[in-house]
Amino acid sequence: MKIYYFISFCLFCSTIFCQSYTPLLNNINEWQVTNCFNGCLTDTYYTDGDTIVEGKSYKILDGFHYISRTFLLREELSTKKIYLAKLSLNRIDEYLLYDFGLNEGDSFNMMNPISPFPQDGGAFILDSVRWKPLIDGNNYRHYYFSPAPTNPTSSNNAVWIEGVGSLSLINAPGGDPNVNGVGHLSCFFKNSELFYANLDSISGCSPVLSVPEVSLLDSLKFITSEGACIVANARSVVRIDVFDLSGQRIDSIFSSNKERIQIDVSHYAEGFYLFIVSTETEKRTFKVILN
């Protein structure tokens, strides 16, 4: 049995997709939105941790009005689409928020779930796509939308930026980016590094979140040998949970100060698995292929 693993989707993207598409989600993402309707106020929200629901990997939104931690984001790199899921007591509702594969002239139905804007914002037309520089000096696609003539719901324009999302709230792709209304995105950080900034209403951008300089999980290695998966450099690991792509946990392994952890995978069917590896201070999801 051979094993292949990917530490993050961003590394996978760097070899296949990134020449034509800049992913929106990184390991840690932080948005700061400024509202000057009654004195300027900047609110911060961010992704905080990962989870698996119905076999799909999500990042958990937190902060601002997402503190219930029932708002989840996921990105499909192959289709350039971003989805938001809202968890309720006995259900999960998922909405397509963004499609960065659209071309000029395409129509897109804007969904603004759990936001100040209409949940179903109706059809918008992608009027233009323009390459413009961001903080790092590189050019990124800016998408400019207006309501379709037949749209009875929305009257405002909308702006997306590849790698950033809406210039309104992240869950309002059809929202009006208005600093005197719901608000306008001022700062966006990926792994605490500034990626986008609009200083029209604020003096500067500083991240609220910080990224550890060295991760205890960066040196993990996965090795297979006669039906076993050996996790090497694992002294910091306290637990490993294994899920199949249906979201069912099929194994839990506990460890304490062991350099190598051996997992019996001889009874696993061939296919994809998610290994959630936990230390005392952090957690990371590894996508594993067994064949």
**Where do the structural domains in the chain lie, given as residue ranges?**
19-197, 221-290
Fold adopted by 221-290:
Immunoglobulin-like (2.60.40)
Q: Tell me what pLDDT residue 224 has.
A: 73
- With residues binned 3-state (H G I as helix, E B as strand, rest as coil), the percentages for the chain, rounded to 5, are 5, 50, 45
pLDDT of the residue at 1: 53
Q: How far apart are CA 248 and CA 291, in angstroms?
A: 19
Q: Please report the sign of the dihedral spanned by the C-alpha atoms of residue 163, residue 165, residue 168, residue 170.
A: negative
Cross-strand pairs, 172: none
pLDDT of residue 213: 59
**Exposure class string for 102-136: b at 16+ Cβ within 10 A, else e:** beeeeebebbbbbbebeeebbbbbbeebeeeebee
pLDDT for position 123:
98
Q: Tell me what pLDDT residue 15 has.
A: 35
Tens digits of per-residue pLDDT, 64-116?
Answer: 999 999 999 999 998 999 999 999 888 899 999 999 999 999 999 999 999 99
What pLDDT shows up at residue 18?
A: 38
Structure tokens at 9: 């989707």
Give me the pLDDT at residue 281, please.
Answer: 81
Question: Which residues of the chain fall short of a pLDDT of 70?
Answer: 1-19, 211-215, 291
The burial class, CB within 10 Å (0-12 / 13-18 / 19+), for 77 is: middle
Classify the phi-psi angles of 192: left when phi > 0, otherwise alpha if psi is within -120 to 50, otherwise beta.
Answer: left
If one counts every other C-beta atom within 10 angstroms of the C-beta of residue 30, the result is 23
